[in-house]
Chain A
């Protein structure tokens, strides 16, 4: 399974990079979602797919009987998904708020912090 996952991760990264390079910040957000998914899949692939049995211990036993799926990457991915959700929501709110203030979704036009027309003289001012 791992080689297939690797190629899938590559595809997800490629589409997310393409989206993140866009000027429209909404597309950037979509890229962010795909990138989180790609990262989770990478962790999953790195943990290997040795078994399809969930990592549960049957009742009354001290440990899993047969080989079970790797539990550690699952725990990492689980929190990563929730954190990814937090990040995405914050970014979404930021974009939303930015649109309310600036009236645009074009990142090229969002230049309040770094205005385009900066005279080079004021920049090289000695400290």
Chain B
């Protein structure tokens, strides 16, 4: 493996490798798929803007109420456009960014798989379908984060993300199934109309907690936030796409989607507001501490997710409008900033903010894109980010329960965002030039086109907000609140409290930016003083699970056959015995049959044979006693009308005796490995209990009413339809011939297996 050419802080971008294969140059063609999808979704805009919601359905597992049903309304269309649109640019970008990487094909395929899964997630109407796509995005994320599989760091990050979001996914599944069962349908369109029923149901809280676990792990809310920064081990296009613009918003999507059915309760308001606020503030502070541009961006993503969660906790229209607008804004600027960082990494060989400066001259287009994105992020007019921020303040003040908490958190988070925007998009491009591993040069078109277009959209929609207000934001808000809404977005709202808060934000943000060197050092010192963090706690948890697994393996799998068997038999006796007792399946009284003397003789013969076999010290006695048992059973079959079975039993007994006799010529006696007396008594006790339980079980079975329909059918049709008078044989070769075929195949395979075992010996002995 050529690990040495991976850059020091490698993300597997393939910088320095050039093993282009024919066809790699055409990888950009893959971007046509998301581009075409974007155009298709765009054609749905007029209908959705007019307030319609479109539904597509196909049966999948109709018996379980699971269908491939898809719903296009304002909310899902907003997400779908973001996913396919950003997907097109990211695919285009990746086709060059990873050019020369031998795994380019695999990467492109996984990326498209992710996109389709994510689209399925946001468009699904059936909650089980939604869950399946949800898990597919988790899997795609696993492969993409672990793309650079030579690196232990990437492998660990991939596994961590998989386990954490996978566990959340399981909770989500449980929650969705419970939800479907109380709502009486798995279709979201049905569920969302039954909000009253759901909110008043006794299971509301458990379901809500399960769904929150799914949403919070996926969308990296505190305390499940730590996988997202670690996932930055993925190639930068993946970070831009999955871990900022789309996948991590799946949890947000879920909360928004279920808003009409779940919101408004104390549990909803408090959990979303508090977890969201805590996540936003925590991440904003940690973001300041980072020097790696990618990590700084990752923490601002966590902050944005916290903010979105916080606003979805509210009922007020303007708060939800703020959430949707911010979601769109964030996707634009965050994806472009990530892609810009990727450009820096590729063109300069580093993405450490302390080693970057004065790049504006050499990289004018990248600088312009970064600046536009950063202005949107910081919320300067006339960018869309400004509108988003104003809406957030307006929304925060409109929240009835805790306006001060939400507004305070929003202002603080936004101020930190201003500072981070400066650090990420200002410092590397302006000021003193610094030495970088490679000489700065402008990136090729395929790299800068994505960030440039996305950042320009932030400006375009800021100048003409009505472009998205009517077609996307308004229908999305209507879908989240479950009622028609009228939303107007505008740059200028007049002088009011939100504007004053904006000014306060800028002042605070610039102050933090100015003093961030000192702040960063202080945070770094504080961090070393912390006893632990979530990431290390996770490692502890994993180690604990491994130790537990090792411990229980040593305990349960000691490698002694008889101990395994003892466990199996003891569990059987306990479980079946307890079931018999609890269900009171035991027969009340036995009806003793009148058996003839000959019957009793045969029964006594079988019993004596079995006991003798168990007690035998000599092989000969044991084999003879076994023969007695077999012949006795054959006699029973004869007496009770089963001549075919009796003949078979006798013939097989003969062959068994021959085989055992042949084998015993070379085997030692039964004395080897004889148990100690105490062990024998314990075994006998267990054996007696198992026998007793089985006897009671059979008694209980024969007491149940006999359903003879199958046999009656065979008796009636054996001659007319199968032309055979021996019903047993007709069953074997005609009615149940497929079974018989399987059984003779098993016999043949057993013979071949034995043949292979023995012939292996012969050949090795005499080559």
A interface residue numbers (CB < 8 A to B): 1-24, 26-28, 30, 33-34, 37-38, 40-42, 44-49, 51-59, 61-64, 68-72, 74-75, 77-79, 81-90, 92-97, 99-100, 104-111, 113-116, 120, 123-124, 126-127
Q: Which of A6, A70, A92, A105 contacts B702 (CB 8 A)?
A: A6
Contacts of A6 in B (CB 8 A): 695-696, 698-699, 702
In the complex, the chain A residue whose C-beta lies closest to that of B612 is A15
B interface residue numbers (CB < 8 A to A): 543, 546-547, 550, 553-554, 557-562, 565-566, 569, 590-593, 595, 599, 603, 606-607, 610-611, 613-614, 619, 622, 626, 629-630, 633, 636-637, 639-645, 648-649, 652, 655-656, 659-660, 663, 666-668, 670-675, 683-684, 686-688, 690-692, 694-696, 698-699, 701-702, 706, 708, 710-711, 714-716, 718-720, 725-728, 731-732, 736, 739-740, 743-744, 746-747, 750-751, 753-754, 757-758, 761
Residue among A26, A45, A48 with the most chain B CB within 10 A? Answer: A26
Q: Which of A20, A38, A52 contacts B640 (CB 8 A)?
A: A52
Q: CA of A78 to CA of B649 in the docked complex: distance in angstroms? A: 8
In the complex, the chain B residue whose C-beta lies closest to that of A5 is B698
Whether the pair A86, B560 counts as a contact (CB closer than 8 A) is no
Q: Which of B613, B674, B683, B736 contacts A21 (CB 8 A)?
A: B683
Q: Which of A55, A56, A85 contacts B656 (CB 8 A)?
A: A85
Whether the pair A96, B666 counts as a contact (CB closer than 8 A) is yes
In the complex, the chain B residue whose C-beta lies closest to that of A49 is B640
In the complex, the chain A residue whose C-beta lies closest to that of B655 is A85
Whether the pair A124, B547 counts as a contact (CB closer than 8 A) is yes
In the complex, the chain B residue whose C-beta lies closest to that of A34 is B610
In the complex, the chain A residue whose C-beta lies closest to that of B587 is A3
Whether the pair A96, B663 counts as a contact (CB closer than 8 A) is yes
Whether the pair A18, B683 counts as a contact (CB closer than 8 A) is yes
Whether the pair A63, B641 counts as a contact (CB closer than 8 A) is no
Whether the pair A54, B603 counts as a contact (CB closer than 8 A) is no
- Sample 25 A-B pairs with CB under 8 A, ordered by A number: A2-B699, A10-B691, A10-B696, A16-B610, A18-B683, A23-B562, A33-B656, A45-B701, A55-B727, A56-B727, A57-B719, A61-B719, A81-B649, A85-B747, A89-B754, A90-B753, A90-B754, A92-B663, A93-B754, A99-B666, A99-B668, A106-B673, A107-B562, A109-B673, A120-B550
Closest Cβ of chain B to A90, distance in Å, is 4
Q: Tally the A-B contacts, defined by beta carbons under 8 Å.
A: 302
Contacts of B641 in A (CB 8 A): 49, 51-55, 68-69
Q: CA of A21 to CA of B710 in the docked complex: distance in angstroms? A: 38
Whether the pair B559, A116 counts as a contact (CB closer than 8 A) is yes
Closest Cβ of chain B to A45, distance in Å, is 6
Residue among A5, A87, A120, A126 with the most chain B CB within 10 A? Answer: A5
Q: Which of B619, B695, B719, B751 contacts A86 (CB 8 A)?
A: B751
Whether the pair A78, B728 counts as a contact (CB closer than 8 A) is yes
Shortest beta-carbon contacts, A-B, top 5: A10-B695, A14-B691, A106-B673, A69-B641, A114-B559
Q: CA of A13 to CA of B686 in the docked complex: distance in angstroms? A: 11
A86 and B736 in contact (CB under 8 A), knowing A72-B731, A97-B757? no
Q: CA of A11 to CA of B686 in the docked complex: distance in angstroms? A: 13
Whether the pair B739, A71 counts as a contact (CB closer than 8 A) is no
Closest Cβ of chain A to B705, distance in Å, is 10
Q: Which of B595, B611, B691, B716 contacts A63 (CB 8 A)?
A: B716
A40 and B633 in contact (CB under 8 A), knowing A15-B610, A56-B726, A93-B758? yes
Contacts of A40 in B (CB 8 A): 633
Apart from A68-B641, A123-B554, list 18 A-B contacts with CB within 8 A: A1-B640, A3-B593, A11-B611, A15-B611, A17-B569, A22-B562, A24-B674, A41-B633, A45-B702, A51-B641, A54-B643, A57-B725, A61-B719, A70-B711, A86-B751, A92-B663, A99-B666, A123-B553
